[in-house]
Structure 1
Amino acid sequence: MNQLPPEQALLSSVNIDKPLPRRSVYRSKLGRQRIFELYQKTLNDLPFKVRHQIVPTSYGKTFLSMAGNPDAPPILVLPGMSIAGPMMLEFFEELQKNHLLIAPDLIGQPGHSEDVPFPNKKQAYGQWSLEILDHLGLKRVGIASASFGGSIALELTAMAPERVGKQVLVVPAGLTPNLPYFKLYAGLAVNWMAYRWWPFHAEQAIPYKWLKRIARPLSRSLTQDNLDYFDAVIRHTAFWRHRPAGPFTKGDFAESVTPTFAIFAQKDFVFPHRATLANAKQSLPMAEMAILEESAHMPSDADMVPMHARISAYFDGSI
């Protein structure tokens, strides 16, 4: 009998047909199946080989997707909220040429890590990150992060700067002194809940017309794959049940912190540009900083093309 390759066997063993646990991130088994279909599609579309590993932590089992040369310098790739590891490998695709990328699915968020709520406690994400590094035997790593993942990177940096090398923060959480919660709930959450509960959006002549409208505060240029996933997250998951770590300020970081490359979006609805940038300049030593002048919170592919070249140069030592 033919056996599946180890990485496919590992994927096929993850809770696809099991009952949903109590307080699952998924609203139904059908919703979980839809998320897993899109997860698998992302993996299938990646132009490079991906390996998988499950790491035990005190917060739950963590599913890792890894790409690149196992002997190359490691980079921990930390995701945005509700974004799984393979999507982050796709986002930071250029880096796998010269590095080993390690992209976890966040516990309690869509993906193959343990489906239990992650505790909203100070230093929990930092400790979780340290447990992953310890299990993999990594004394020091680079970090590439986006949005929610930026706050995890910053918490790890504050707790254990000796474990963090170079890091890239793309539109990071964790540096905004006061999140605009009222604006976020009024401008995003209300519309998202309406999209979830009123199914007439599916009957429109132009698919996702309403979804594109309510996504505009986050992004002006979503691809078809982006829209498919955004639709699944809103309709099938308990989105926004976790909070990013932080906010962090200058006093949270040691003087030995490695200079960072940070990228901000000038029209960021989630992490307002002016206050976030001012705090970042005071809090972190910067190797380089970039501002995407026309970008909302989720940069377009066109926005990121020059940024990816600069990110690669930063990690490869050209900056």
Structure 2
Amino acid sequence: MGKGSIYKNDGKRVLAQHYADYLTEFDFEVERVYVDTSYGKTHLLVAGPPEAKPIFLFQGGNCINPMTFSWFLPLVENYRIYAPDTIGHPGFSDENRISAKDDSFAQWTSELLDYFQIERCAFVGPSYGAGIILRLATYMPDKITCAVLVAPAGIQLGSKLTMIKKILLPLVFYHGTSSPKYLDQIADHMSDSSMKERDKTIIGDVFKYVKLEQDMPKLTTKAELDNYHSPTLIIAGKKDLFFPEERIIKAARNIFPNLTDFKSYEMGHFPANDHLRKINHDIEEFLKEYY
């Protein structure tokens, strides 16, 4: 486990305010629950009908939970959503980092499920959150009734050269100058020029005030999923610099014994609103059939 704060200067307060402001935009009641786990205290957002089927929704990496939660708001109408702040990422969970390369996230998830007395359920995860689901699929596949992986980490990476050129170098210049020009470049490359201004501001503050999680979730192997047989939907972006569709689909067909469906859109790593409407339709149709 990593030690010390992930925040720099006034970062914890700044990101907490962004978090609170984002929640005010949700037009439904959100419960905030703290759960003690062996990996640290975990804060969760809980919403949706209490009697509805549960879905665990994992956030993207190096951002705040309400941001990626907001991508999947239609799910709240028909499902009980449990969305934990990933330990070691911005939010209200403990700040110590846990490995996404072994069984740590699977054990952490299992403890959260036990707290809410959920034996198994559906899981949805964008980006880093998909990588967490794949660790669960590797070590505790029976916990997953079905899974939706959106712009998923943990399957295959994009071109390192492209990421250096379009993300890392502008980030270095942004750190050195604080010029919005470089933040705009990063946001445009991440979202195919569709990122909301609010999200761009938050991402900029994450870059300023957070020691970024730089370790991607482990790339999952075919052997690791030998015992995983749950229906799985993957949704990928053709313009995603981090996890591009053409690399994801090739690897996914190899490692998943039962890939149920694969959808792709002309989107970046951050989906535009038009793509989110399609994505949520895809997810709802998938859940109707398999959950």
Among 120, 127, 152, which residue is 1:172 paired with?
Answer: 152
Contact preservation (8 Å) 1:122, 1:245: no
| Matches of 1:172 and 1:256, distance apart in 2 | 17
- For 1:76, what is the secondary structure of its paired residue? strand
Confirm whether residue 282 of structure 1 aligns to residue 247 of structure 2.
no
- Superposition TM-score, scaled by structure 2 size: 0.92
| Matches of 2:43 and 2:22, distance apart in 1 | 16
Greater Cα shift, 68-77 or 280-289: 280-289
Q: Give the unaligned 5+ runs of structure 1.
A: 1-20, 202-207
Q: Which deviations, in whole Å up to 9, do the C-alpha atoms of 1:115-144 show, x marking residues without a partner?
A: 223245512112211121122211001001
Corresponding residue for residue 25 of structure 1:
6
Give the deviation of 1:56 after TM superposition: 1.1
Contact preservation (8 Å) 2:245, 2:264: no
Aligned residues: 288
- For 1:296, what is the secondary structure of its paired residue? coil
- For 1:165, what is the secondary structure of its paired residue? strand
- 1:70–1:244 CA distance, 2 compared to 1 (3 A): farther
Contact preservation (8 Å) 1:55, 1:62: yes
Q: Which deviations, in whole Å up to 9, do the C-alpha atoms of 1:72-117 show, x marking residues without a partner?
A: 1110001111233322331110111111100011111100000223
Corresponding residue for residue 128 of structure 2:
148
Confirm whether residue 71 of structure 1 aligns to residue 43 of structure 2.
no
Contact preservation (8 Å) 2:146, 2:290: no
Q: Which deviations, in whole Å up to 9, do the C-alpha atoms of 1:22-64 show, x marking residues without a partner?
A: 6211111x22211111100111110111001111111111100
Contact preservation (8 Å) 1:84, 1:106: no
Contact preservation (8 Å) 2:141, 2:227: no
Give the deviation of 1:182 after TM superposition: 4.8
Corresponding residue for residue 239 of structure 1:
212
Corresponding residue for residue 174 of structure 2:
195
Corresponding residue for residue 197 of structure 2:
224
Corresponding residue for residue 276 of structure 2:
304
- Write out aligned runs for 1:31-50 (5 A): 31-50=11-30
Q: Give the unaligned 5+ runs of structure 2.
A: none
- 1:145–1:278 CA distance, 2 compared to 1 (3 A): same
Confirm whether residue 272 of structure 1 aligns to residue 244 of structure 2.
yes
**Could you tell me which amino acid in structure 2 is paired with residue 240 of structure 1?**
E
Q: Which deviations, in whole Å up to 9, do the C-alpha atoms of 1:279-309 show, x marking residues without a partner?
A: 11122223221111x2122211111212211
| Matches of 1:117 and 1:151, distance apart in 2 | 15
| Matches of 1:138 and 1:88, distance apart in 2 | 23
Percent identity, aligned pairs only, is 26
| Matches of 1:141 and 1:46, distance apart in 2 | 24
Corresponding residue for residue 69 of structure 2:
89
Corresponding residue for residue 261 of structure 1:
233
**Could you tell me which amino acid in structure 1 is paired with residue 36 of structure 2?**
P
Contact preservation (8 Å) 1:152, 1:244: no
| Matches of 2:81 and 2:198, distance apart in 1 | 22
Greater Cα shift, 120-129 or 38-47: 120-129
Corresponding residue for residue 289 of structure 2:
317
